[in-house]
Structure 1
């Protein structure tokens, strides 16, 4: 709950948190989607049965190759489910996260401890996974479609959903849910790091200006939000990236005979470790960092400033 907001108005603030999170998610995807396409293709390249994905040398070569062979459409493959998924995910995440924090704040006059931020973020992440896994599965499959794709191509988001339900059943929409739930730790680590770094920066700024009661809004600006977002994100990525690789490989489209390329998450782990070693679990991390560090910065800059706008509007009324 933002400082200065009374418990009576807490429920309203959760909806404003959701709206701010949705705006942040949309802005992030619209700006950095091509790097997400590259990251996804790198994650499955080198894995079992991945002949459909060209062998890219590095991120720049991947962007160039996709643009030359597939055009702008290739760089923005899966854009609509990515926008939908990111907007819904961030909106729900901030909503559930702030609801959880309010629950832990009840009866407390002091600030929440790191464990409360960690648990709140984990709760939010798990709920978001259950709502959005089908969207991310479709996004992954659309991003992996190339001109050499050996099966009939999905024409778009709705066609992909219909085809998956017809050919594989509704359970297929939840492939990769296990690693996705493990990735809840990613958000938990990121948000805990963000909250603790934010408190440290506010304290440092107050000490520097010799003011004890400056508000959060007065203490931090967009540059601070950007640095905090990037700093918390890099920590989470380095610790949890292998789960993203496992999920992407599980969510690939089955072969032409209808057989999935991997049976489950443990199968991915064994095959990747045997054929690629530790490096295989970090495929695409360069493009992932290039996308997600500015994305995290942009997300928190947009989110915090939208919250400021909501608060200013409340104060005027």
Structure 2
């Protein structure tokens, strides 16, 4: 029966991604602007902290500023989550053919495989999203939207520019997703085992032991552990994906250049710029993602069984 559920995983993932972005996008804009601000560029706005950034963007740029890059964010998140859950479930099923239970290592391998495939598919969308989020009213030649940005990048920089930040993005997808999903699966097992010991066998399936509050706590906890361990990759990717200067010269040449310059001028703190906005965005967002995903998936399974 499980082998026929791939499309349900994709549909549940897409719904989860859409709900997540709609809720948290302003914090994503703030996080991106903090990430690229190395203190050496006069063209980038400077904010004291997350509330100050939120207030300043709302005052100077309005609602559109807080939701800059919303379309590619929705598109990227919906496609990413749909593909991620689809590839993740396929990988788990492949490993389960030769064993009854997956080990933490195989959960990690499944998540890493899914993350890598998703990264190759969606990097151009995330690059456009980053550039739209970094636009301010002072921009000399701003992009008018997603399609204009895509056209302009292809015309001025070529198709290879769409894959700037791919390597840190690949590391981020593989490690972040792997850590998050492994933590989620293992914590989920712990909760189920504790509940089983408490109430015995008075339930039909393991899913009956968990509710939306459990999914919220598990999602937020697993996300927090992944953020703390992988956040520097996000900073490196964002800095690589900035729009080149008027002369067409990128601020950073490659990932190693970002690492050297950030460590030299900003130290360890530079690799964690914007992490407060990131945690505020992603911890509750992960809760929403897994609540929606688990409940939509259970609903689709029930309909299929009728």
TM-score using structure 1 length: 0.94
Gaps of 5+ in 1: 1-5
SS of the equivalent of 2:5 reads: helix
Question: Are 2:158 and 1:169 aligned?
Answer: yes
Paired residues for 1:176-191 under 5 Å: 176-183=165-172, 184-191=174-181
SS of the equivalent of 1:55 reads: coil
SS of the equivalent of 1:256 reads: coil
Of 91, 96, 102 in structure 1, the residue corresponding to residue 87 of structure 2 is 96
Distance in 2, Cα, partners of 1:276 & 1:214: 55
Note the alpha carbon deviations across 1:288-312, whole angstroms, 9 max, x for none: 0000000100000000000111011
Question: Are 2:254 and 1:264 aligned?
Answer: yes
Q: Which residue of 1 aligns with 2:205?
A: 215
Note the alpha carbon deviations across 1:240-276, whole angstroms, 9 max, x for none: 0000000000000000100000000000000000000
Gaps of 5+ in 2: none
Distance in 2, Cα, partners of 1:113 & 1:291: 30
Contact 1:206 1:214 in 2 (8 A): no
| Structure 1 position 214, deviation (Å) | 4.8
Note the alpha carbon deviations across 1:183-214, whole angstroms, 9 max, x for none: 11000000000000000000001111123865
Of 99, 118, 122 in structure 2, the residue corresponding to residue 128 of structure 1 is 118
Question: Are 2:280 and 1:295 aligned?
Answer: no
What do you get for the CA RMSD once the two structures are aligned? 1.1
Distance in 1, Cα, partners of 2:135 & 2:215: 36
Distance in 2, Cα, partners of 1:31 & 1:275: 34
Of 71, 89, 101 in structure 2, the residue corresponding to residue 111 of structure 1 is 101
Question: Are 2:74 and 1:73 aligned?
Answer: no
Q: Which residue of 2 aligns with 1:45?
A: 37
| Structure 1 position 47, deviation (Å) | 5.4
SS of the equivalent of 2:13 reads: helix
Q: Which residue of 2 aligns with 1:82?
A: 73
SS of the equivalent of 1:193 reads: helix
| Structure 1 position 172, deviation (Å) | 0.0
Contact 2:203 2:209 in 1 (8 A): no
| Count of residues in Structure 1 that have an aligned counterpart in Structure 2 | 305
Question: Are 2:144 and 1:155 aligned?
Answer: yes
Contact 1:234 1:293 in 2 (8 A): yes
Q: Which residue of 2 aligns with 1:3?
A: none
After superposing on structure 2, the runs of 4+ consecutive aligned residues of structure 1 that deviate more than 4 Å are none
TM-score using structure 2 length: 0.98
Distance in 2, Cα, partners of 1:276 & 1:212: 57
| Structure 1 position 107, deviation (Å) | 2.7
